[in-house]
Amino acid sequence: MFGLRKNKAPIRLVVGLNQVDKIVANAWNERMNMPEERAAKEIARRCNDLTQRLAKYADISTDNIEYYSALKRYRLLPLLTKIVSNAYAGFKLDNVQPADPFELADPEVKAFADQQRREREAKKQGKNEVNKNQLFEEMKKFLSEDDLNSVLSKFKQESSRPPKVAIFGKAGVGKTTTINSLFNAKWKTSHTIVGTTSAQVKEFDLSTGGTLDVVDLPGYGRSLAEDREYEKIYQDLIPACDLVLLIIQADTKDLADDEEMILKVADWLKESSTPQR
């Protein structure tokens, strides 16, 4: 996406650069709920530079990094696309619809956007059905009947499991807002994970149906002693997840803790190419 390529082993990680609405002061068009043109260009420039830096430091692809604003619901679709692309069995999140950014815009803007969206969704639904049918038809050409049945069985088995996403970052990075906006999800239940006092699994109902399990990990960067304790929790829980969403503030000046954490998470995930159930 930004020029660094991509010949990297796939890992179940997306780094979200949140709060981009804070990068350029007094440059947000409230009527349209989007940055002014000059601000959008500056946001893209800074985030592209940051993406290159993080990808190089952690030896990951730029396809594992995306910028957005959870509060303003800005660029949620690009972020969701990265998540679907990098998650294990990402197809389980393919029908998720993020919260509508135009709900925060003027009513007349929202009405026009709603009309455009309905037209796009009608076309997309038809294409999805065609793509699925084409995929299975292509598989029939190369797989034996037994192999095809095995693939279909595993597909159904995986489809029955809720997507499991770990999410964390420093305090104040916007974890809760990201979950609510990105997945358009409503909290259902939660429980503290056995053996920890700081990590929780939260179950959310998705607006498109089904549920989402979010592993809410404790934040890092407050003290070395706390970080050492939390790192044990991360290493225990992250390998079992379909995806890790690590959120950092796009306007931060101090990236040292974030860079080290991205590097560690990438290394852990490279050691387990599939979730350790």
**Closest residue by Cα to residue 22 from 91, 84, 74:** 74
The tens-digit pLDDT sequence of the chain (277 residues) is 434 445 566 799 999 999 999 999 999 999 999 999 999 999 999 999 999 999 999 999 999 999 999 999 999 999 999 999 999 988 888 778 899 888 888 887 777 666 666 655 665 555 555 556 676 677 677 777 777 666 666 667 666 788 999 999 998 899 989 998 998 877 766 566 655 567 888 888 887 778 889 999 999 988 899 999 999 999 999 999 999 999 999 999 899 999 999 999 999 999 988 888 7
pLDDT value at position 14?
A: 98
CB neighbourhood size of 112 (10 A): 13
Q: How far apart are CA 99 and CA 176, in angstroms?
A: 13
**Contact status, residue 2 vs residue 44, Cβ threshold 8 Å:** no
Look at the pTM and tell me if it is higher than 0.85: no
- Token pair for residue 217? 């990990």
**Closest residue by Cα to residue 233 from 199, 204, 206, 208:** 199
Q: How far apart are CA 211 and CA 226, in angstroms?
A: 32
E strand map for the chain:
13-18, 28-29, 34-35, 65-67, 164-169, 185-192, 200-206, 211-216, 243-249
**Closest residue by Cα to residue 169 from 231, 109, 126, 217:** 217
Q: How many CA atoms lie within 13 A of 228 on its CB side?
A: 3
Residue type, 270: K
Q: Per DSSP, what are the bridge partners of residue 204?
A: 187, 212
pLDDT value at position 193?
A: 63
CB neighbourhood size of 262 (10 A): 24
Residue type, 226: E
CA 272-276-277 angle, to 5 degrees, is 165
**Closest residue by Cα to residue 247 from 44, 73, 41, 13:** 13
